[in-house]
Amino acid sequence: MRMLQTRIYVLLIAIIGNILGFSAQAQNPFSTSAIKTTKVDEGLYTFSTSGARTIAIITEEGVIIGDPISPSAATMIQTEIAKLTDRPIKYVIYSHQHWDHVRGAQIFKDAGATIVSHENCLAHFYNDPHPDVILPDVTYHVRHVIKLGGRRIELWWFGPNHSDCSTFTYIPDAKIVHIVDTVTPGAVAGGGGRMADLHPNGFITSLQILEETLDYDRMIPGHGPPTAPAEAVTIRRQYQEALMTAVKTEIDAGTPLNEVATRIDLPEFSHLSGYNQYLARNAQRILVYYTIGW
């Protein structure tokens, strides 16, 4: 009897497992159909669609693009680029591993493009596979340079921040860096304030090294406006520093852990978007860092 119950149970588990369809049918909850193209600099464009933003760098020998975003976005991006140049798309650069940015590269690969990501993304793609996410063809360790049609594009990895495989794409001749999710200009930490997958220990170091290493005037984010001044990076780093110091100060003072988040107040950053809504959640995430080491 016990054996029969167990068998029925295992069968039920199998059925439920199929219904769950974890990675097989996931969708983008932010999908919209429009695409907005903005010229940022000579031969440098940004596209906003499906709730995310990516870039295209046009050279005499071909095009380098950032994230494909999603299959439908990739089709629109391909169409938009065809309006700007008849040269082929040679490279697709994944900003990090998250599905809201890196689905849909297949159409570019089919047309001959090389997919590039930081090497740490591979483990994520294997552990959390998605049918619309294809693996990179090329990975790199700390820095990777792409030379194409007389332009030089630098891919930099500055350690864990929003993800442990974030690529910051630097375009030296435009003095612009493309930073996806680690900095969303003029805003507190994102992911609904929960700082999804954020690495608090590396975040600050990562932005410090960026600020000191690259000569840039503007950034192009992965969500939000087409461009923002370089200062946006510094403000986001300073917010993180102030937040972490404030949380640690409360813990050191013996504040009960379940009261710490509600006591945090950072008036010098109250102008940031999402401050009122997400400050306490941001603080909760930092509290988790200090209590469990994650």
Which listed residue (204, 269, 273, 275) binds other proteins by CB under 8 A? 204
Contacts of other proteins in 258-287 (CB under 8 A): 258, 284-285
254: amino acid identity, one letter: G
Nearest to 188 by CA among 261, 282, 96: 282
What is the rounded CA–CA span in Å between residue 21 and residue 215? Answer: 46
Asked whether the beta carbons of 260 and 248 are under 8 A apart, the reply is: no
Q: Write out the binding residues for other proteins, residues 92-121 only, by CB under 8 A.
A: 97-101, 120
Residues 6+ apart with CB under 8 A from 179: 168, 210, 219, 220, 221, 222, 233
Q: Shortest CA distance to 212 belongs to which of 195, 193, 237, 180? A: 237
Give the amino acid at 121.
C
Q: Do residues 110 and 77 touch, judged by C-beta distance below 8 A?
A: no
What x/- string results for residues 11 through 30 when contact with other proteins is judged by CB under 8 A?
Answer: --x--xx-xxxxx--xxxxx
Residue 99 or 275 having the CB closest to other proteins? 99
Q: Which of 109, 194, 223, 263 binds other proteins (CB under 8 A)?
A: 194
Min separation Cβ 171 and other proteins, Å: 17
The residues pairing with 144 across neighbouring beta strands, listed in sequence order, are: 155
> Which range touches other proteins (CB under 8 A), out of 74-82, 87-95, 195-203, 265-273?
195-203
Binding site for other proteins (CB under 8 A): 6, 10, 13, 16-17, 19-23, 26-30, 97-101, 120, 124, 127-128, 130, 133, 142-143, 158-160, 164, 191-192, 194, 196-197, 200-202, 204-205, 208-209, 211-213, 238, 241, 244-245, 248, 251-252, 254, 256-258, 284-285, 288, 290-294
